[in-house]
Structure 1
Amino acid sequence: MNATMIDEKELTALDRCDVCGAQAYVRATMEHGELLFCGHHAAQHIDKLREVAVSIQDQRDRIS
């Protein structure tokens, strides 16, 4: 399965990384739920996420 890049509801400061709790900039929607990642953890896992996610919302361009 190859994930599609989509535009969904914008992630906000209230959305937190499931790994470390930092602000999330990437939402990976899986077949049964979703995972949120900060920029650092998204970069670490993006290749695998592209293989298994249904869709990926990537807003890392908003990181200042």
Structure 2
Amino acid sequence: MTGTVTTSTLTAADRCDRCGAAARVRAVLPGGGELLFCRHHGTKHEAQLRALEATILVEEIDD
């Protein structure tokens, strides 16, 4: 994948798009846009995200 992904750091206010828990995983889609997931849902959807060639970033946040 070429190009640069510019994203802000996750904060305690960022929530999982699936369940509303604290977001720890950011998936940047190749066509634009992003999805935020808790670790559980990030792991659950990792294979599908990789198949879509999403860039997956796992972050630790200070609560």
Looking at both structures, which has the greater relative contact order when contacts are Cα pairs under 8 Å and sequence separation is at least 6? 1
Higher alpha-carbon deviation: 26-35 or 49-58 = 49-58
Q: CA distance change for structure 1 residues 8 and 46 in 2, over 3 Å: closer, same or farther?
A: same
Percent of residue pairs bearing the same amino acid type = 47
- By percentage of residues, which structure has more helix? 1
Task: Tell me the number of residue pairs that the alignment of Structure 1 and Structure 2 aligns.
Answer: 57
Q: Residue 47 of structure 1 aligns with which residue?
A: 47
Aligned ranges 1:1-64 → 2 under 5 Å? 8-30=7-29, 31-59=31-59, 62=60
Aligned amino acid, residue 24 of structure 1: A
In structure 1, runs of 5+ residues without a counterpart are: none
Normalised to the residue count of structure 1, the TM-score between the two structures is 0.71
CA shift in 2, pair 1:20/1:56, >3 Å: same
Query: Distance in 2 between the 1:41 and 1:54 partners?
Result: 15
Separation in structure 1 between the aligned mates of residue 23 and residue 46 of structure 2, nearest angstrom: 14
